[in-house]
Structure 1
Amino acid sequence: MEENLAELERDSVSAIAAATSPDELEAIRVRVLGRKGGALAEISKGMGKLAPEDRARLGKLLNQAKAAIESALESRTAEFESAALTARLDAEWLDLTLPPAGVKPGALHPLTQIQQEIEDLFRSMGFAVLDGPEVEDEFHNFDALNIPPDHPARDMQDTFWLTGGWLLRTHTSPVQVRGMERYPLPLRMIAPGRVFRNESVDASHEHTFYQLEGMMIDRDVSVGNLIYFMQTLLTEVFHQPATVRLRPGFFPFVEPGFELDIRCLICGGSGCAVCKHSGWVELLPCGLVNPNVLRMSNIDPDKWNGFAFGLGLTRLVMMRYAINDIRLLQSGDLRFLNQFS
């Protein structure tokens, strides 16, 4: 039995050293050290038939053989693990001193790009760029713009009402009111910003979008002044003459009021979802400032007059870049936004 034990130890250690894979190593472990059917377990079963003094001596040899085999298994397992780690490091190696691949510089949103172009244009013509709060009070959003509580235009605004008489501004015209209250005359100003309307969302309507409103208050301002500035604006934005039409329109804060439409640049006027298949897109409500609006800001309409206009920045961007769905602009989809970087 001693010879069998010595031979088993030699053969096992040799087989362990010659193993070529972790699976092969595991098979050797089960065959030699397994509790059921393992070679050492079988030898251990026969020890009960030995004399006490032989049993003690053979037990000591059995434990030594088991320790030697387990040591060989542990050593060989460590070799396989080390080799696997080395192979993985070789396969996944990267130079951390190199800049990561695929990093692209950030870019301005197309809305921001167009807004900055228009701001630069109007600054060159002597206009100030003003800003105001997005959470407004009724006076600045409605009353000071000749829209009293019982005026039907309030229903047309689809307002998000908050508590305590506050609301999310439905246009950037309140900034014009604040400008007339704060700055001396004559006054030239534009007010770009985000506005909110409680309306259904589709290809050409959003509940959150961007506008740019402008105003000029001076002496002897006429419709001719208004048309000049609007033509200059559209020519600069589209980098080409734009086909427009001016038609009568009603707005409480201007009198007379006009709707300036632009021929749809998405479909060329043939009709699409953006222009509601009319071939035209409402772009620039405008007109001469209503005398009541001037009076509400303590301006004498017998001495001063002016024009005002409201521009849909979001729709302007759609026309500029031939975007057929307004929802893309605030979707956060990088595949869409990367076109403008």
Structure 2
Amino acid sequence: MGNPSTDEHPEDDGARRILLAGPRSFCAGVERAIEIVERALRSHTSPVYVRKQIVHNAYVVDDLARKGAVFVEELDEVPDGATVVFSAHGVSPAVREEAAGRGLDVIDGTCPLVTKVHAKARRFAARGDTVVLIGHAGHEEVEGTLGEAPDSIVLVDTLDDVRDLDLPDPERVSYLTQTTLAVDETAAAVDALRQKFPMLQEQSSDDICYATTNRQNALNAIIGEADLVLVVGSTNSSNSVRLVELSRRQGTPAQLIDRATDIRPEWLEGVRTVGLTAGASAPPALVTEVVEALAALGPVTVEEREVTRETTHFGLPVVRGAAAAKSANGVPTGEAART
């Protein structure tokens, strides 16, 4: 199911207006991770295990589970020698070592943009820096990054955390960020780091990914006209939650929903314009579902506000080991990565 069609008649009397933020829904890293699991399922006769949720979306995980994927929390739930896919959020070196030690057939679904953050963590730590990681404790991406140099990385979540930092060498400090943070809040945290540590090593590029930034910019373009913002995404999706928070910070009520069935009638009382977007792990079909649900309540007009067009594509990983010997319809399960 594709994106909903648009109706260019917002002036219709009595019609509720839906403003669609664009871009929304799947990003390249999410599409890649899902395709990795689907290809593995097609090419393997034995079970395909996935460590953690491949992406943070309940609909996607349930759909892949129906197709045969076995989701586990940790590798001790995976039989020795079995095939396991690592999620888009990445894993620590310790997890990779455990998998190798148990002869697991690993297919890596880590988003290439997360992989770049891991590489920076290793590089910054190797040159002797204390690395301040801005992110949310317990998030899988953060856990993976921390594992790259646990003795050299310090996690901060709030401005108070930054103010309380006491580092061994204030002149050798660099920073990284989780890829799915709020752009404005992260900028404030970095500014606070600069004030506390004037010798802070600057980055050549931001860690917050293009998709997170684009979805926040797209929502910013419609918040001012909306009476209510609906964000399609799961509660454990960091970038989806950040969209809700962004709207609320600017004074527009916002609700996070997994499906159209989560919409409560009282939310829509007095609402003439609904802003609608979706986190990077939410399927486009669920946005269409929400539009159709709103249309079932009465006349609607739909306008798309696209702030940029995304063309990023990530190739699939090269599959080595036992997985490389298996194929779907004669096509190898892995191919060289490209961007």
Q: TM bucket by the smaller chain? A: under 0.3
Higher helix share: 1
TM-score (norm 2): 0.24
TM-score (norm 1): 0.24
